[in-house]
Amino acid sequence: MYSPTLFTGVDISVKHFEEVYLFADGGSQNHKDLMQAVNRVRDEKALIKVWVTPKTEERETDPAVLYQRYFKTKDDYRNLMTLNEVTGKWAFDAKWNTYLTLVSEQEAANNVSHSELKAHFVSMAQQLGFTLTQNNVQDVERAEETKQALAKANAEFEAERVKGVTNAEDISRPEAEAVQKEKGSLTTEQEYKLERFYYRQLNGNSAEDLGELIKTPLKRLSSQIRAFEALAVSTEQLIHRDQTFATEIIPDKEILALQTDLRKRIEATYGGYKQDGPLSADVLAAFAEFMQSEADQVVKDLGFAVPENVGEQPIKTLNKYLKQLGLVAKETSRIRDDGGTQERKYQIDPVARELMQRLAERRKPESERELAQTKEDTLAA
């Protein structure tokens, strides 16, 4: 099996493979990279079975337009630019101009490929002399069956993981460190014990709410905790909490600060996760307008794309954002006006919010608790 992680440089020379399978959706490599991947098994007798999405995508294919993005985010590239005192315009020096032009041209070529991935792949296969047998109806049916089978298998695996970690024995830090040294040869029981230890660490070394937290994959939960806490405490406090409780590499302070700044500006558009009332249409419209204006920054700092039509269904994009905080906006009611138009009402799920707030409270180091208590005592006096 060749995954996107391994598709380059993998070479299996032993000719014991009879069939090669390729499933490529819109997020796959371009058609040239896909062709290179399926030919890593160098056996002319191997039958290559391919399913490439028939969907078409609209992507920017003009290198000049793509190149202009670097000017829109010129603060990030200012040290690569020089200011023309006559025209008053910023420009890249010759070296960087050549490099960024090539990058833009390569991205444009990739976008052309993805605009009609299947058509380009089939055309290249024909040019290379492959004999093609197509059965589109069966291909689509099989692809859907495979998708459903994979979804079922993943759900079963996840249910087994949750059950195993929930029922695992608690171990101490020295025991966990001893188990970590054996990584690569752990039994399933040891893996569950170690994973439970990690969850307890993220949970302030508490068993409270642990069963609910275990339902979220560990890496995602860690990221959600950090994003949620960053809205309430300073970067220094957050780093300290990470050093105290986290089980992974501490994030870069500058990147964390940029992410938090953007999240705080997003919070201001819809009233923030703390509000209890319904999210009005005006609030969602303000959120959508902001996300559209900051689409490039959202992709860069938060890692998800803002659709061009975000204003049509802003709740979908809001929930993508809230998911990063361990939160969700749920539908509370549907109201139909006199004209028959139906309006859905949403609000931040209080159960999810209270869980994240309890979690953040448990993760406060003792020094942070003492400081908070001192402030309360001062105010009371």
Assess whether 128 and 30 both reside in one domain: yes
Assess whether 38 and 72 both reside in one domain: no
Per-residue confidence (pLDDT) for residue 7, from 0 to 100:
45
Residue 368 sits at the vertex; the CA angle it makes with 364 and 372, to the nearest 5 degrees, is: 110
Whether pTM > 0.85 for this model: the answer is: no
Who's near 11: CB < 8 A, 6+ residues apart? 40, 42
Residue 182 sits at the vertex; the CA angle it makes with 178 and 188, to the nearest 5 degrees, is: 105
Per-residue confidence (pLDDT) for residue 10, from 0 to 100:
46
- The size of the chain, in residues, is 381
Phi (first) and psi of residue 332, to 5 degrees = -110, -25
Residue 338 falls inside a structural domain: yes
Assess whether 120 and 106 both reside in one domain: no
Assess whether 97 and 244 both reside in one domain: no
Who's near 122: CB < 8 A, 6+ residues apart? 52, 132
Assess whether 8 and 99 both reside in one domain: no
Assess whether 50 and 85 both reside in one domain: no
Assess whether 221 and 304 both reside in one domain: yes
Assess whether 234 and 277 both reside in one domain: yes
Per-residue confidence (pLDDT) for residue 168, from 0 to 100:
94
Per-residue confidence (pLDDT) for residue 142, from 0 to 100:
59
Residue 189 falls inside a structural domain: no
Per-residue confidence (pLDDT) for residue 9, from 0 to 100:
44
Q: What are the E-state strand segments in the chain? A: 19-24, 47-52, 81-83, 90-92, 329-336, 342-348
Residue in 202, 198, 210, 209 with CA at minimum distance from that of residue 171? 198
Residue in 31, 19, 22 with CA at minimum distance from that of residue 2? 22
Per-residue confidence (pLDDT) for residue 132, from 0 to 100:
73
The boundaries of the domain holding residue 47 are: 1-56+116-132
Assess whether 124 and 221 both reside in one domain: no
Per-residue confidence (pLDDT) for residue 136, from 0 to 100:
54
Tell me the C-alpha distance between 115 and 229, whole Å.
40
Tell me the C-alpha distance between 359 and 31, whole Å.
46
Per-residue confidence (pLDDT) for residue 74, from 0 to 100:
52
Residue 170 falls inside a structural domain: no
Assess whether 123 and 99 both reside in one domain: no
Assess whether 7 and 74 both reside in one domain: no
Assess whether 255 and 355 both reside in one domain: yes
Residue 256 falls inside a structural domain: yes
Mean pLDDT, 10 residues at a time, over the chain (381 residues)? 45 63 75 79 68 78 81 62 74 79 86 84 81 60 67 87 94 88 82 92 90 92 90 82 64 79 94 90 94 91 90 94 95 78 87 94 75 56 55
Residue 294 falls inside a structural domain: yes
Say how many domains are in the chain: 3
Residue 51 falls inside a structural domain: yes
